[in-house]
Amino acid sequence: MPHTFAVDRFSPVRFDPGHALSGREVDVLLEAAGRAPSAGNSQPWSFIVGRRGDQVYQRLARHLSRSSSMWATGASLLVANLAHRFVEDSDIEYSEFAHYDVGQAVAHMTFQAHALGLFVHQFRAFDRDAVASEFKVPGHWEVTTMAAVGLPVEGARHLSGAGTSRERLPLQDITWERAR
Ligand SMILES: Cc1cc2nc3c(=O)[nH]c(=O)nc-3n(C[C@H](O)[C@H](O)[C@H](O)COP(=O)(O)O)c2cc1C
């Protein structure tokens, strides 16, 4: 069997709105993200972080799509995940692997959340341009995804994403080639 993290992790569709994260827990989540590997140690990531009740959270929540606002606003933490795409004032790529590395950083955050008894739902359903302009993200950075972090409530595991199945492809379908 894979590690319990891989087996038990899921993207909750309902969070406990009574749960709060401490500032120290938020630090630990960000520290875990920052420890992810990246091409040439380029660390092409940055995070806009709002704890429920604070003004950053409210400014992020304003730009959720209708579908995600139905569940993400119960989360204890909303995080917008930014990728460093270009060298400032140029069209030269900062890192060819920026998106890849941001994904790994968020995966590290997700793993750390699990160790704290929390769950993460990553999502695309928000207005990326509006978040960029709300937080004055310059053009050489890109708002990629958001992550909602918190404590799931009963029944939060059924579906992740509107109508999305949680079925996984069998091993043979995800193995291009392998010697037996
Ligand atoms: C890059 C990315 C974008 C996603 N976008 C959305 C989204 O917009 N809305 C949503 O409800 N879930 C979204 N998800 C969550 C996926 O639907 C979910 O991870 C997938 O269905 C597998 O379910 P599980 O995470 O519970 O195993 C996204 C996940 C990733 C990694």
Residue nearest to atom 18 of ligand 1 (CA): 160
Q: Is 125 in the pocket of ligand 1 (CB under 6 A)?
A: yes
Please name the residue whose Cα sits nearest to atom 21 of ligand 1.
Answer: 160
pLDDT at 159: 61
Structure tokens that stand for 129 in this block: 């341009």
- Give the number of other Cβ atoms within 10 Å of residue 121's Cβ: 24
pTM (predicted TM-score): 0.96
Question: Is the beta carbon of 157 within 6 A of some atom in ligand 1?
Answer: no
- 142, 174 in Cβ contact below 8 A? no
Residue having the nearest C-alpha atom to atom 2 of ligand 1: 123
The runs of H, that is alpha helices, within 12-124 are: 23-34, 55-61, 66-72, 98-115
Q: How far is the CA of 147 from the centre of ligand 1 (A)?
A: 10
H/E stretch holding 129? helix 128-134
Q: Where are the domains of the chain?
A: 4-155+162-174
- Contact 77/148 with Cβ under 8 angstroms? yes
What CATH number has the domain spanning 4-155+162-174? 3.40.109.10
Give the ligand 1 atom nearest the CA of 157.
26
> Which structure tokens are listed for 159?
């579906």
DSSP state, residue 35: T
Would you call 147 helix, strand, or coil by DSSP? strand
The reported pLDDT for the residue numbered 149 is 98
Mean pLDDT of residues grouped by 10 in the chain (180 residues)? 95 96 98 98 98 98 97 97 98 98 98 97 98 98 98 78 78 96
- For 126, list phi and psi in degrees, rounded to 5: -160, 170
